[in-house]
């Protein structure tokens, strides 16, 4: 045994307790303790059965991911499961909290599974670029069938206990006394083993397997881990258990040291680190229950939905009835759509709508714990709103601005309580997008920052804290990326080629397709606001301005960099855009050259890396990994590439220095070179 595993007795049943807080991760110490406990109890003739359970709030929420980048110490998880399966006594897993990854594989190695209602189970390994490596791809299909196993493993879906019972993943679900139920289950087995490995894989039509495989490959973008998982699951019906188990382990071992798996682990830890901030660690978050949202447009309505989904009471406020009605209709349409699609019960939808109050009476702000402004992106407009809020909101209420790039300190200065002001940059659609950029102003208090981080958790958002600066982290990086893409447009590439190259790299959408979707006028207004501060000699591409001047503002006008049909859906190239680009090149005397896709991708990512170095030097981002979290969760950067900082560090300092010399020469006057060493520092910035 080890310090994190102990054996207790409940009559003739041994209860093996895993106590490795905070999540009972399946570390090497836990594995050693389990093997020792199984061996000890197996030698005790008076013991008829064994229960394995977790102390604290969970069973085993997953393996220790830190181990996956190095040789895995023995005993491995397959060795632990082998000890359970070869044990003469039946072993029952008592599950609560979460049984994920290696935790669920351990449970599958037991003879029975008893779960507390609400327990979450699943095999999320594919989302980390690997596959289950301790029999998950072999035991699960023996319970659920191959098509369902393919869907569960390739999506990494987490299943609650009641649904898992229907799928055969657990045997018993209880609402209380989990330990008692598991002990009773072990006694009822009367010393008989019931190993999953001895079961046959349920027969299934080949067409169902092909359909499930095709859907998984499509959803998983044909990534290596998805393909390997499908192969391993299908082999459960075509190979002996031991041969298939060995093949699964070999695939797991190869994938876990791959670049993609390293990138996904990096992103996993980066997201976890971003959710914390040194300045908030010792502060107590303010209680929140009543939220007021100012502005019922697309963003305001989305924020209101996100708050309703999180259980808040929401007041939606507008200046006129017509705008308010449109906002309420957006919210009601959302919930009706969920009901019509079978994704929400009518009673749940009505309950959430029942917590919404819509009004043009701004005095209702007085009852709010948090006020979120979501009005037009204009400093004077936002300052006027905050002056008004300052006179209405109760003392201690948090005043938040959903701003994309406006100076938060200038907004806060329009109130008598700048310490209560914070930026909450939601991404559209606000109830769907996972990223929440939390902007800390110069006067923002520590408890307000802590409250912002707690709010993100309750909204199920991924927070990243940014200091106050134009564009904060995300829009600042994205502007540099888009600017470099415009340079390449001017030099000879087409919008279609640039978009296609970056989408092939893994971006959800290329920069020009994104511009059309969000509206070219948004970036146009930003450029206009910065025109007075732009260096006269700095390279500036006029092509997007010319498109805006021609009324081509993107999908909403049916034309931008592309042409769109009446539904605003399918995009297609437009010769008129080519003429605008050719005229701009001619005006500057630029001869178009052939540019390959590799150059397009490399320049785009180098522009991000260079701007990130500047952000870090200025203290806007606390650490390089925060930038990766922002770009992956808010700007469509492929998660399996880890983020632009991970990509840059993989190249190494010397190669990056050469790359940036090359990029500076291509970018021309106005290019500011960042200190690339910033990206390699582990220093935590405050």
Helix%, strand%, coil% for the chain, nearest 5: 55, 15, 35
* pLDDT above 80 (res 584): yes
In degrees and rounded to multiples of 5, residue 377 shows phi and psi of -75, 75
Superfamily of domain 5-257: 2-enoyl-CoA Hydratase; Chain A, domain 1 (3.90.226.10)
Nearest CA to 283 out of 55, 448, 93 is that of 448
Is the separation of the CB atoms in 367 and 312 below 8 Å? no
The pLDDT value given to residue 568: 61
* Cα distances (Å, whole numbers) of residue 495 to 213, 508, 557, 571: 34, 15, 18, 12
**Segments of the chain assigned to CATH 3.40.50.720:** 283-471
Paired tokens of 270: 């980066």
Residues 655, 663: Cα–Cα separation, whole Å: 12
3-state secondary structure 47-77: CCEEEEEECCCCCECCECHHHHHCCCCCCCH
Contacts of 145 (CB under 8 A, 6+ apart): 201, 202, 204
Tell me the per-residue pLDDT of 132-168, one tens digit each, with 9 for 90 and over.
Answer: 999 999 999 999 999 999 999 999 999 999 999 999 9
**Segments of the chain assigned to CATH 3.90.226.10:** 5-257
Question: Between 526 and 142, where is the model more confident?
Answer: 142
Comparing 272-281, 414-423, 590-599, 677-686, the range with the smallest average pLDDT is: 677-686
The pLDDT value given to residue 682: 52
Paired tokens of 124: 């999320």
* pLDDT above 60 (res 360): yes
Contacts of 632 (CB under 8 A, 6+ apart): 267, 638, 639, 642, 643
Architecture of the structural domain at 283-471? 3-Layer(aba) Sandwich (3.40)
Tell me what the mean pLDDT of segment 278-287 comes to.
Answer: 93
Paired tokens of 112: 């029975």
Residue that has been written with the tokens 């087409």 in this structure: 494
pLDDT-derived band at 595 (thresholds 50, 70, 90) equals very high
Residue that has been written with the tokens 């659920």 in this structure: 144
pLDDT-derived band at 67 (thresholds 50, 70, 90) equals confident
pLDDT-derived band at 684 (thresholds 50, 70, 90) equals very low
The pLDDT value given to residue 1: 62
Contacts of 404 (CB under 8 A, 6+ apart): 377, 425, 471, 472, 475
* pLDDT above 60 (res 409): yes
The pLDDT value given to residue 686: 33
Is the separation of the CB atoms in 44 and 191 below 8 Å? no
Choosing from 105, 260, 271, 490, the catalytic residue is 105
Tell me the per-residue pLDDT of 446-466, one tens digit each, with 9 for 90 and over.
Answer: 999 999 999 999 999 999 999
Contacts of 418 (CB under 8 A, 6+ apart): 409, 412, 441, 442, 443, 444
Q: Specify whether 29 is catalytic.
A: no
The pLDDT value given to residue 437: 98
Beta bridge partners of 435: 462
Comparing 227-231, 414-418, 510-514, 570-574, the range with the smallest average pLDDT is: 570-574
The pLDDT value given to residue 525: 83
The pTM (predicted TM-score) of the whole model is: 0.92
Q: Residue 433: exposed, middle, or buried by beta-carbon count in 10 A (0-12, 13-18, 19+)?
A: middle
* Average pLDDT, rounded, for the chain: 95
The pLDDT value given to residue 683: 44
Is the separation of the CB atoms in 666 and 533 below 8 Å? no
The pLDDT value given to residue 669: 92
Residues 423, 32: Cα–Cα separation, whole Å: 47
Is the separation of the CB atoms in 263 and 640 below 8 Å? yes
Contacts of 264 (CB under 8 A, 6+ apart): 127, 128, 129, 639, 640, 642
Residue that has been written with the tokens 């980048």 in this structure: 69
The pLDDT value given to residue 685: 39
* pLDDT above 90 (res 524): no
Mode of pairing for the β-strands spanning 462-467 and 13-18: unpaired
Helix or strand or coil: residue 116? strand
* pLDDT above 90 (res 62): no
Q: Residue 168: exposed, middle, or buried by beta-carbon count in 10 A (0-12, 13-18, 19+)?
A: middle
Choosing from 46, 125, 491, 618, the catalytic residue is 125
* pLDDT above 80 (res 676): yes
**Segments of the chain assigned to CATH 1.10.1040.50:** 475-680
Tell me what the mean pLDDT of segment 373-393 comes to.
Answer: 95
Q: Specify whether 148 is catalytic.
A: no
Tell me the per-residue pLDDT of 565-580, one tens digit each, with 9 for 90 and over.
Answer: 877 678 999 999 999 9
The CATH number of domain 475-680, selected from 2.60.200.30, 1.10.1040.50, 1.10.150.20, 1.10.3720.10: 1.10.1040.50
Residues 535, 527: Cα–Cα separation, whole Å: 13
* Percent of the chain's residues with pLDDT above 70: 99
């Amino acid at each position: 045994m080890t310090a994190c595993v102990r054996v207790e007795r409940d009559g003739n049943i041994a209860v093996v307790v895993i106590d490795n807080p905070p999540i009972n991760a399946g570390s090497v110490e836990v594995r050693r303790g389990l093997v020792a406990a199984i061996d000890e109890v197996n030698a005790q003739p008076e013991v008829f059965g064994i229960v394995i359970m977790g102390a604290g709030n969970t069973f085993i929420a997953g393996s220790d991911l830190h181990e996956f980048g190095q040789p895995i110490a023995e005993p491995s998880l397959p060795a632990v499961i082998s000890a359970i399966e070869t044990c003469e006594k039946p072993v029952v897993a008592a599950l609560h909290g979460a049984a994920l990854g290696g935790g669920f594989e351990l449970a599958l190695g037991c003879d029975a599974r008893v779960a507390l209602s609400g327990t979450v189970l699943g095999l999320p390994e594919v989302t980390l670029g690997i596959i289950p490596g301790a029999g998950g791809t072999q035991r699960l299909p023996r319970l659920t069938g191959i098509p369902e196993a393919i869907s569960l493993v390739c999506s990494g879906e987490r299943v609650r206990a009641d649904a898992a019972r229907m799928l055969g993943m657990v045997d018993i679900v209880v609402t209380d006394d989990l330990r008692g139920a598991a002990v009773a289950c072990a006694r009822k087995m009367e010393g008989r083993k019931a190993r999953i490995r001895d079961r046959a894989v349920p027969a299934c039509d080949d067409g169902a397997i092909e359909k499930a495989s095709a859907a998984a490959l499509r959803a998983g973008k044909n990534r290596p881990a998805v393909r390997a998982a499908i192969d391993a699951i299908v082999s459960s019906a075509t190979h002996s258990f031991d041969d298939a188990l060995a093949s699964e382990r070999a695939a797991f071992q190869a994938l876990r040291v791959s670049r993609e798996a390293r990138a996904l682990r990096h992103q996993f830890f980066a997201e976890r680190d971003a959710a914390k901030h040194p300045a908030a660690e010792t502060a107590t978050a303010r209680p929140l229950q009543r939220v007021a949202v100012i502005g019922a447009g697309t963003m305001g309505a989305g924020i209101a939905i996100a708050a309703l989904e999180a259980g808040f009471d929401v007041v939606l406020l507008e200046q006129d009835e017509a705008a308010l009605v449109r906002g309420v209709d957006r919210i009601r349409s959302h919930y009706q759509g969920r009901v019509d699609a079978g994704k929400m019960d009518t009673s749940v939808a009505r309950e959430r709508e029942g917590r919404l109050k819509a009004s043009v009476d701004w005095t209702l702000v007085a009852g709010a714990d948090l006020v979120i402004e979501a009005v037009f992106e204009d400093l004077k407009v936002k300052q006027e709103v905050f002056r008004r809020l300052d006179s209405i909101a109760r003392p201690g209420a948090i005043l938040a601005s959903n701003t994309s790039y406006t100076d938060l300190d200038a907004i806060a200065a329009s109130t008598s309580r700048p310490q209560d002001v914070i930026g909450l940059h939601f991404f559209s659609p606000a109830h769907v997008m996972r990223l929440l950029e939390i902007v800390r102003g110069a006067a923002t208090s520590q408890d307000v920052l802590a409250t912002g981080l707690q709010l993100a958790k309750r909204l199920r958002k991924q927070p990243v804290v940014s200091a106050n600066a134009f564009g904060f982290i995300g829009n600042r990086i994205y502007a540099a990326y888009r600017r470099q893409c415009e340079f390449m447009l001017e030099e000879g590439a087409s919008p279609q080629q640039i978009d296609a190259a970056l989408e092939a790299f893994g971006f959800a959408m290329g920069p020009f397709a994104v511009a059309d979707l969000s509206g070219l006028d948004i970036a146009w207004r930003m450029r206009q606001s910065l025109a007075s501060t732009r260096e006269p000699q700095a390279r500036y591409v006029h092509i997007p301005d010319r498109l805006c001047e021609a009324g081509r503002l993107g999908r909403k006008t049916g034309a931008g960099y592309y042409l769109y049909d009446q539904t605003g859906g399918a995009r297609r190239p437009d010769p008129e855009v080519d003429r605008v680009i050719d005229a701009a090149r001619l005006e500057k005397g630029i001869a178009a050259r052939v540019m390959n896709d590799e150059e397009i991708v490399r320049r785009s990512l180098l522009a991000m890396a260079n701007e990130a170095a500047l952000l870090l030097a200025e203290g806007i981002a606390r650490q390089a990994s925060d930038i990766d979290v922002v770009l992956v969760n808010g700007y469509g950067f492929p998660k399996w590439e880890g983020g632009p900082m991970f990509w840059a560090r993989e190249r190494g300092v010397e190669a990056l220095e050469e790359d940036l010399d090359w990029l500076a020469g291509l970018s021309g006057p106005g290019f500011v070179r960042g200190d690339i060493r910033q990206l390699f520092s582990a220093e935590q910035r405050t």
